[in-house]
Amino acid sequence: MPLQQESAPQAIRATPGTTAAIFDSPHSGTVYPDDFNYACGFAEMRTAEDTHVEKLYDFAPSLGIAWIEALFPRIYLDPNRGETEVDVDMLDGAWDGEVVSDATALSKLRLGKGLIWRQTDEGLPVYDRKLTPQEVRGRIERCWRPYHRAVQQAIEAAHARHGYSIHLNCHSMPAVSAPYSTDYPGLKHADFVFGDRDGTTADPKLTALLAGFLRDRGYDVAVNHPYKGVELVRRYGDPARQRHSIQLETNRRLYMDEGTFELLPQSAQLKADLKALSELIVRTDPRQL
């Protein structure tokens, strides 16, 4: 059974900050709406979650970091996709909105990972029916827009206070890439992957500083491979205007059992290191790098 199920769930949890830092977790939600009539097994569904990421960063508000968290599950609607990333082949009627043409987004659609997922990372169909355009519109209104509104407002507030903002988009990744999770099936992931879309969403010096910090703590760290960052960093990152957005992927084997979803004892050390990284972010002014 779902961890939580509600007919009209709250979409997000948001805590304002006082520093220039904004953290968000778009994929750790476990509140499964009762209008989500999925066809695959629930355990298979849960592999789409960035399970426990919100626990790894639960110290953020105490450091003055603004925190935004999706409560709905990623497989229901993915806030790290654009509104136009709609798989029209999933619908039983005409879509009256714009449809994405960006090559990266189209690659995600081919994997079944658009705004609404068509299949799991293992290739299992999520639905045994077509969705109505009205269903998709409803999810956008209830979930996507409140989430993006909260992230945008937090970034604007931080930038207004300090003249710059640092947005960390918090994710997790499996130890090994599944067949339909990315364009690199079977890839053994590093401990961490930072993504700044090849330096277009954050100053590369800032990304290098954070990656080096974790390497100095003994972690294997990659940058922009295989994850460069998607909609949330693309939409809000603008380093020329001192708005820096970086995606951070954490390998799940560092903190959880991927089979049982159990949080492991070693997660405490990981959390301590993420807190130290966060303290570095709070005290860093990217204008001085």
pLDDT in tens, 27-41: 999 999 999 999 999
49-71 burial code (b ≥16 CB/10 A, e <16): bbbbbbebbebbeebebbbbbbb
Mean pLDDT of all residues in 44-59? 96
Pairing of strands 165-173, 192-195: unpaired
Question: 283 Cβ partners below 8 Å, 6+ apart?
Answer: none
Q: Quick check: helix, strand or coil at residue 88? A: helix
Question: 212 Cβ partners below 8 Å, 6+ apart?
Answer: none
* Tokens describing residue 223: 């940058």
pLDDT for 38 equals 94
For residue 5, is pLDDT > 50? Answer: no
* Nearest to 37, CA basis, from 116, 140, 144, 122: 116
Asked if 70 contacts 11 with a C-beta cutoff of 8 angstroms, the reply is: yes
Over the stretch 163-207, which tens digit does the pLDDT of each residue have?
Answer: 999 999 999 999 999 998 888 999 999 999 999 999 999 999 999
- 285 secondary structure, DSSP code: -
pLDDT for 9 equals 53
Q: Quick check: helix, strand or coil at residue 25? A: strand
Give me the architecture of the 4-288 domain, per CATH. 3-Layer(aba) Sandwich (3.40)
pTM above the 0.85 mark? yes
Left if phi > 0, otherwise alpha if psi is -120 to 50, otherwise beta: which for 69?
A: beta
Q: Where are the domains of the chain?
A: 4-288
- 142 secondary structure, DSSP code: I
Question: 228 Cβ partners below 8 Å, 6+ apart?
Answer: 195, 196, 197, 198, 247
Asked if 206 contacts 166 with a C-beta cutoff of 8 angstroms, the reply is: yes
Distances (CA, A) of 112 to 121, 124, 183, 195, 232: 9, 10, 12, 22, 19
Over the stretch 100-147, which tens digit does the pLDDT of each residue have?
Answer: 877 677 778 889 999 999 999 999 999 999 999 999 999 999 999 999
CA 82 to the chain's CA centroid: 13
pLDDT for 7 equals 39
pLDDT for 3 equals 52
* Tokens describing residue 121: 């990372």
Measured CA to CA, the distance from residue 98 to residue 187 in angstroms comes to 33
**How many of the other CB atoms lie within 10 Å of CB of 103?**
7
